[in-house]
Structure 1
């Protein structure tokens, strides 16, 4: 806003329009979350058609999250200044156009470019949904319920992705994994323009080119270093990139702290409740993504199930989240958000520890019980979102949304790196001493060697790794639960409306 401009906040939409607007925001989140999981199933068919090199295939997978993480802060700052609905609709258009562009993709490079554009669109969509919920629902109780529905939608998207993807890929080419987004984005653009009011910050942060560069390069470098650490272990390259990225992000934080009108309001972390909410979001994403990755591999590579059957078998996690997410804010109003956050982390920890105590060989019944508990443990994410957004005034909703979404991205990358690397180390330790390098690299590699004895040993080693993965994940969640208990004020009340 220019100096001297008077800001008039928009009137609160009617009840019907608010909840219809929430439906639009939730549907957009549903598609973005589903898109992440559908691509994983499409990779084998895509690789067979386009013949990407191993490096190209890694970039196809990773570039989306790198671009998304790098642009979250910038997109949120632009939304605060130019309009959050405008940013959301622009994200829809880019996401839909990039998905349609797959019809012209005839090389790995073209698919990588499409994934870059999808990351740009996703970076505009994800924080805009949270910012608009904050402005759509000024009443804190209504907002907590809305965020519960929003969280349940994310759980549904994670579950539907493998199922929808499996069904599409059994009947159509891999292009359908992208084209699925196009009609949904068309409807979303129209619905957003009709149902969502425009929302801007009355005190938008100053657009700072240096801070923008520091945030983009720092976040991309950090997520890249974390991913490479999980794939190849510690190396000089990863160490240098990680340290430089941390230094750049530290410079970004210092610049924001010193600015009168910062691009990202880092001072929000002064609120202990806000910090506890962000920590809960980060560690829940950390645990959930790692669990889905390893359990999906167990279902397909140890049990021999198809991708579609494996997707259906992972539903208990989504069911736990779907049932718990709308209820969590209601329960928090009765017993307090502090208790709900800590209890959710404790239930998730129980799901992980169940993997450790289950008898070997693991059965699907035990895995389903573990998935259900982990899913219920994700339900308080809705309360964490409510705590985060309650800790920020409407003018800083973009900053709060960017911080929360960044915590999800960093948490997911860290989960795969830390817990995935631990499971990989246990797996390798369980292989015969003379196992070839291909088998030591992954269970999938061992199964391609046409050696029944080695395949059986590798499958047993992978099941053992899942057991120790459960112990590590459970202890980590319990530790964070204690930290959240300490940080969250006992008196925190989500019904109090922040000005």
Structure 2
């Protein structure tokens, strides 16, 4: 009788559900931050007048810092406690948000965005571990993790609306100031509602690996972005070569140390490799399309910030709904078909941006986000699940960390790489007044002909980036169809 009683799962307490809500507040902030920044960038560039490469750094330094530190901070959380780490991260994220809101120069904004990334590197992995520990019953735990993922997707949906409302009435800094009171409420509630989580076993953090990964990523991307904005020079070539050498040394070191930051042996499994590649490339396309489309709608078509937010809403709603309904889609189609469909839908959606012109394009943009939104929703829900299911249970934590890292790096690489493609086209085809569209349009003596040339050059850059991004997704989709087995584990 006692055995039977113990086998009945105990429902989670009210405190556990309140703890979930506390963590979700931070998750919502992180998700909103990305979509709000894309929307605010035209205002930011008009106010701070960053150069072309500074504008790209403002957008992607956060993702690079998070992606570089995510696995290392996961290790720190295992050793010292997830609750301590997420609270420290929330403080840093809040201070970075306050600093960004008060920035008066591009350099200070880049620095404070990096500080936000330092805090953000603790929030998602630590939050997920804490949520999992709050719900010992597997069924309720799965439900809580589903709510966690849906909240992250919903942040992208409501971010542009909240951001649009704030930007209509206040300066661009207001979209970052809203983070501060949420962080304060979290810091008051977390000690009461959350409990500490540590791993039973952990390895030491390899500092040389951490330095090599950060230096390699930042140096390589700096060389690409600087070359696109200002042309090739010895400085860019040296930085690019140094970055590649650092990354090569990082990969080599991971194969020789007992506790690597990146478990390369996991990539021997083709299912795992395709899942990680899907997460990486889909976020590359996602971030570049969001960034360039926001500038296009406001600076080329002339829509105000709130109208731009409303145009982005249908796609964000479709994305959120797809996240919620992915399990049902997978039941009907199977995991392989759903994963391949991810690539095809994103590719098709991005290719629809090729129908935009300098006179009209809002309808093409909405159609693009609706089609691609289904693909992004599938990707956000499937990538980590497929990656974790492809490896032994004992290595599920490492697989999940790599999946999270691929998303963050992809988010930053999209703006850096595809954004650099657009910047290069603009530099070659534009009127040569300045390195960015907003800088050019703000020039006091700009003629109407030069302004039109600048808009057409930016549109050509958008089309080039969309073409490259859509082709990348299509190629990965073909590889997934060929290499993946008919039935995926899970």
Instruction: Confirm or deny a common fold (TM above 0.5).
Output: yes
The farther-off stretch of 360-369 and 116-125 is 360-369
1:220 is aligned, of 200, 218, 221, to 218
1:400 is aligned to 2:399: yes
Q: Deviations over 1:291-338 (max 9, x none)?
A: 112211221122111122212222232122111111113322443222
Q: Deviations over 1:221-278 (max 9, x none)?
A: 3443444355345443333323322322332333232233334433222332222221
Residue 452 (structure 1) aligns with: 448
Q: Is the 8 A contact 1:76 1:398 kept in 2?
A: no
Count of aligned pairs between the two proteins: 480
Residue 473 (structure 1) aligns with: 469
Q: Deviations over 1:344-395 (max 9, x none)?
A: 2111111122234679954322221111111111011211121233345676
Q: Is the 8 A contact 2:35 2:156 kept in 1?
A: yes
Residue 182 (structure 2) aligns with: 184
Q: Distance in 2 between matches of 1:467 and 1:34?
A: 26
Q: Distance in 1 between matches of 2:24 and 2:475?
A: 32
Residue 437 (structure 2) aligns with: 442
CA 1:16–1:375 in 2, change beyond 3 Å: closer, same or farther?
farther
Matches within 5 A, 1:353-392: 353-356=351-354, 362-380=360-378, 381-391=380-390
Q: Deviations over 1:178-217 (max 9, x none)?
A: 3211121123334444444433333312222322322332
Matches within 5 A, 1:30-179: 30-39=28-37, 60-61=58-59, 63-100=61-98, 111-132=109-130, 148-179=146-177
Tell me the SS of whatever aligns to 1:438: coil
Q: Distance in 1 between matches of 2:366 and 2:100?
A: 36
Q: Distance in 1 between matches of 2:132 and 2:271?
A: 17
Residue 410 (structure 1) aligns with: 409
TM-score (norm 2): 0.83
Q: Deviations over 1:456-494 (max 9, x none)?
A: 344344445544544333222111111223443433232
Q: Distance in 2 between matches of 1:238 and 1:270?
A: 34
TM-score (norm 1): 0.82
Q: Unaligned regions of 5+ residues in structure 2, if any?
A: 1-8
Residue 319 (structure 1) aligns with: 317
The farther-off stretch of 51-60 and 157-166 is 51-60
1:269 is aligned, of 226, 244, 267, to 267
Q: Unaligned regions of 5+ residues in structure 1, if any?
A: 1-10, 495-499
Residue 6 (structure 1) aligns with: none
The farther-off stretch of 226-235 and 477-486 is 226-235
CA 1:217–1:179 in 2, change beyond 3 Å: closer, same or farther?
same
Q: Distance in 2 between matches of 1:176 and 1:43?
A: 13
Q: Is the 8 A contact 2:82 2:196 kept in 1?
A: yes
Residue 348 (structure 1) aligns with: 346
CA 1:243–1:331 in 2, change beyond 3 Å: closer, same or farther?
same
Q: Distance in 2 between matches of 1:456 and 1:49?
A: 22
2:208 is aligned, of 197, 203, 210, to 210
Q: Distance in 2 between matches of 1:77 and 1:13?
A: 30
Q: Is the 8 A contact 1:77 1:264 kept in 2?
A: no
CA 1:422–1:27 in 2, change beyond 3 Å: closer, same or farther?
same
Tell me the SS of whatever aligns to 1:300: helix
Q: Distance in 1 between matches of 2:103 and 2:419?
A: 32
Residue 4 (structure 1) aligns with: none
Residue 8 (structure 1) aligns with: none
CA 1:474–1:428 in 2, change beyond 3 Å: closer, same or farther?
same
Q: Distance in 2 between matches of 1:51 and 1:462?
A: 17
Q: Distance in 2 between matches of 1:421 and 1:175?
A: 26
Q: Is the 8 A contact 2:83 2:197 kept in 1?
A: yes
1:248 is aligned to 2:242: no
Residue 5 (structure 2) aligns with: none
1:490 is aligned to 2:486: yes
Residue 308 (structure 1) aligns with: 306
Q: Distance in 2 between matches of 1:106 and 1:424?
A: 24
Q: Distance in 1 between matches of 2:363 and 2:259?
A: 54
Q: Distance in 1 between matches of 2:227 and 2:139?
A: 42
Tell me the SS of whatever aligns to 1:72: helix
Q: Is the 8 A contact 2:340 2:481 kept in 1?
A: yes
